[in-house]
Structure 1
Amino acid sequence: MSEERAPHLLYVAWGYPPARSGGVYRALATANAFAERGWRVTVLTAERDVFVTGTGIDPTLEPLIDERISVVRLPFSSPAYDVDISRWSYARAAAPEIWATLRNRRDLRRFPERGYGGWREPLERAALELHANDPVDLVVATANPHVDFLAGHRLHTDHGVPYVMDYRDAWQLDVFSGRRLSAPGSAIDQWERRLVESAHEVWFVNEPILDWHRALYPNAAARMHVVANGFEAAFAERLPPVRAGRETGLRLGYIGTISSHVPVEALLAGWRLARERSELLARSELELYGYLDHSGIPNQSVVDAIRDNAEHGVRHLGPVGKATISDTYARLDALLLVLGTGKYVTSGKVFEYAATGIPIASIHDPGNAASDVLRDSPVWFPTPGLGPDEVATTLERAAEAALAQTDDDRRAAQRWASQFERSRQLAPRLAALERAVARNGGSR
């Protein structure tokens, strides 16, 4: 594809490297995939300071952005993220609660998404300016926040540009409880219907979430697709061999954000019981890696639980950068997939876990969508429930498999998981979008 004829993609992601927010790996990989296929890619995202002072950053992610991508960082202001008191106005400093209430009301009138509604105007303005200077052929936006979708909607409304909505989870569906979060006819419901009905495609991470939306928006069903998460090809090149010295004690590990939805107490209760029953686990360790909540502020109940179980070989070793995560997997003998309950819950981490070929103990409700991903894995050990005895039995089975695993066993598990390499998930949709843009005549 020549430079003159290359189509122009506008990719919108509030959380983009170096952000460590949920879905950032998907955003990074999707924009890179378009660039690798010859698209000219412009990314609209929030300014870097938002992540440095707010959610926290993973500095190892920025070097992974394809050098051909142009990243435009927009000012973003929200009461939840403006934490530098020296920059507050006199009115806010004098009455912060009243100021925040009035500000939130004003932002919600712009777009009904608490904390993000105020970004609508800067986002739409930037999208229109970009299109005026270098016509956009396609917009792909990923949520959440869902205000990201408005850049594509505005370019579609004003200029006929097709746009794709990529949901990481859902807006009106609580993926843990299965409840609908917004009443029919509410502002959120009206906005989502408007967006979905005019989108060129709508992507979801798994079939259960797609099915829920298909029932809600039957007229858009044919334009809805599953684009599952996956692991990166570069990660597959650095997969760890079986660790030597396991006989003296195993290392079981969890890697990921430990939010309030993660059943840490159930895991630790099962772990303590398993150590009482298993001589192997009695001399083993449980290592937890990741932030202790999405906000960057540690969840005190998790902090306390880890501290109270230190004498049982439980350690929290902090977050792991994307560029060094292979080293962490190399020190582990079994992986713990500990997830909140919900049939709509998959987790992006499940694909990376599978790719390693390391035995996986699933400490989550059997009905989670993650079970559908791992069901045929040769190294998967699901728990039938979250009671201490059930969790302990699952941990014991995974530990025995980890002790017995050979290099050939691990390579076989890695071959099985190769189906989840991320480019295989993205390629069919990217090819379809290229055909659609070509039919529309390419660059405007």
Structure 2
Amino acid sequence: MQNLLLISYYFPPRGGSGVQRPSKFARYLPGHGYHPIVLTCDDGSITNTRDSSLLQELPDADIQRVPGREGLVKKMSQLHLGPLTTLTLRPDAQILWKKAAVREALKLAKKQRIDAIFSTVQPFASALVGLELKKRLGVPWILDYRDPWTNSTSLIWPSKWHYEQEREMERRCLAQADRALVVTPGMRDSLAKAFPEYAHKIRIIRNGFDPEDFKGIDTDQRVDDGTFRIAYAGRLYPMTGKKNRLHKSSSFTFRHCELDYASHSARVLILAVKQLLTEHPGLRGKLKIDLAGNIPPDHQAFTDQQEVGDVVHIHGMLSHRDAIRLVSRSDAVYLPMKREVDGRRSYNASGKIYEYLAQRKPILAAVPEGDAADLVRDAKAGWVVDPTDVQQLADKLYELVQRKQSGLLRVDSDEAVINQFTRQKQAEELATELDELLGIRQPNPQPTPVPATAS
């Protein structure tokens, strides 16, 4: 059994989508010859979501926790010092965790052999932890991108200088990393274009779903009462589209493009419901929408303002299993996603897609053209609509209500496509990469990266 130091700042009992990938790797890698030693933040650093049920999946996990500094950052924000932390704590506030994390990892390395390192980002400070340990321990290091870094379309830097400094940080990380993992084909192409000299290191291991999460849950608990039910469980952004960063309009900030965060809210959905009921008032009792998770307060106010509170029901945070149960009672699922204002293809693909695929629920995807839209179509899993088009979404809702009433609300999903995305298969893919780096097996031939020039 090889020992893998798995560095993930976000890890259970913290909840949310960011913990799923590292925790599932920790769960299934032992079946492929790797013992994960998880290095993560201390429980006391968790200041937002918590889902203790996720730890029940890892009863024998070797988890080493190092205190974080989220409480300090939160206090600074309350003192209106948020812009100062944004300016000084780079690449993110979790840089305050780096020194203690490296120190703890080196202590662990004195007690037991570390054969390889895996660090997953965000936060991007975890990449710098991996970089330091790569230099100190001299073992293979895999840098895992759940999210893009300096070629991100969603991040805003305080200045062009800050961006260039982080670009160099990322370049140093890629120079030392033995592999760089990404989660979509678009992310691979974007990273290869940004750093063509390291394109040969890039591999795709997609996000996915764990069939074990659905054991003991009937994934089809639809109520046959003639009402069309659609559900969403996850995070939504405020309808204003604003984020808690340095002000967007500042002439000092730097970004690659403007993002429409409001498209990753339920604003268009709520307006579409209003439009549908205006055109077809008799459907008011035939449609129900459940929104659960990290839902901003403005959603309830907007729902009330549009007088659709009897149709759109907003719930709070749910455990992972309760979210699965909510979806299981629906006829279809809703998938919103932020879009680039300039209309470029999106290489983001929410991890939520894969659990929807696992439950074989028809997906109504209000997403821009890109990897997420491609996946829904490739899997023959549902319908893609423009995330900004209220009338198009209202028309599709009307069609789905009619399908429900006529018994034709189903999709013939492509099982071969869906079965590629199990967490067990992804753990096997990661183990294969580790085996190659450690010389346990010969590397598989890789396709030639797409020719590109540095940006």
TM-score, length-scaled by structure 1: 0.83
Is residue 152–residue 162 contact of structure 1 (8 Å, CA) maintained in 2? no
Partner of residue 268, structure 1: 270
Q: State the Cα distance separating 1:396 from its structure 2 match.
A: 2.2
Q: Which moved more, 1:421-430 or 1:199-208?
A: 421-430
Partner of residue 350, structure 1: 353
1:221 pairs with 2:199: yes
Is residue 9–residue 138 contact of structure 1 (8 Å, CA) maintained in 2? yes
Provide the secondary structure at the position in 2 that maps to 1:386. coil
Provide the secondary structure at the position in 1 that maps to 2:11. coil
The residue type equivalent to 2:391 in the other structure is D
Q: Which moved more, 1:306-315 or 1:132-141?
A: 306-315
Residues 185-217 of structure 1: CA distance to partner in whole angstroms, max 9, x if unpaired? Answer: 822111110001110110111111221110111
Is residue 151–residue 194 contact of structure 2 (8 Å, CA) maintained in 1? no
1:321 pairs with 2:319: yes
Q: Structure 1: any 5+ residue segments left out of the alignment?
A: 1-5, 84-91, 293-298
The residue type equivalent to 1:57 in the other structure is R
Provide the secondary structure at the position in 1 that maps to 2:333. strand
Q: Structure 2: any 5+ residue segments left out of the alignment?
A: 239-260, 341-345, 442-455
Is residue 46–residue 74 contact of structure 1 (8 Å, CA) maintained in 2? yes
Q: State the Cα distance separating 1:303 from its structure 2 match.
A: 3.5
Residues 66-113 of structure 1: CA distance to partner in whole angstroms, max 9, x if unpaired? Answer: x33211110112465555xxxxxxxx89x9557x788777x63xxx22
Could you tell me which of 287, 297, 300 is aligned with 1:284? 287
For residues 292 and 302 of structure 2, the distance between their equivalents in structure 1, rounded to whole angstroms, comes to: 15
Partner of residue 42, structure 1: 37
TM alignment of 1:148-163, pairs within 5 A = 148-163=126-141
Partner of residue 394, structure 1: 396
Residues 318-372 of structure 1: CA distance to partner in whole angstroms, max 9, x if unpaired? Answer: 222113333212211111111111412210001111221122111222x142101
Provide the secondary structure at the position in 2 that maps to 1:267. helix
Q: Which moved more, 1:16-25 or 1:379-388?
A: 379-388
For residues 224 and 34 of structure 1, the distance between their equivalents in structure 2, rounded to whole angstroms, comes to: 20
For residues 380 and 7 of structure 1, the distance between their equivalents in structure 2, rounded to whole angstroms, comes to: 42
For residues 34 and 135 of structure 2, the distance between their equivalents in structure 1, rounded to whole angstroms, comes to: 23
Percent identity between matched residues is: 20
Q: Which moved more, 1:24-33 or 1:176-185?
A: 176-185
For residues 425 and 373 of structure 1, the distance between their equivalents in structure 2, rounded to whole angstroms, comes to: 17
For residues 431 and 398 of structure 1, the distance between their equivalents in structure 2, rounded to whole angstroms, comes to: 43
Q: State the Cα distance separating 1:24 from its structure 2 match.
A: 0.8
1:73 pairs with 2:79: no
Partner of residue 56, structure 2: 63
Partner of residue 188, structure 2: 210
Partner of residue 248, structure 2: none
Could you tell me which of 113, 116, 121 is aligned with 1:143? 121
Is residue 138–residue 161 contact of structure 1 (8 Å, CA) maintained in 2? yes
Residues 122-156 of structure 1: CA distance to partner in whole angstroms, max 9, x if unpaired? Answer: 01111111111112111111111111123322222
Q: Describe the shift of the 1:28–1:277 C-alpha distance in structure 2 as closer, same or farther (beyond 3 A).
A: same
Residues 5-56 of structure 1: CA distance to partner in whole angstroms, max 9, x if unpaired? Answer: x1111001111001124411111112212123232221011110111xx122
TM alignment of 1:81-92, pairs within 5 A = 81=73, 83=75
Could you tell me which of 298, 302, 305 is aligned with 2:299? 302
Q: Describe the shift of the 1:96–1:284 C-alpha distance in structure 2 as closer, same or farther (beyond 3 A).
A: closer
Partner of residue 430, structure 1: 431
Is residue 172–residue 182 contact of structure 1 (8 Å, CA) maintained in 2? no
Task: Give the aligned CA root-mean-square deviation in angstroms.
Answer: 3.0
TM-score, length-scaled by structure 2: 0.81
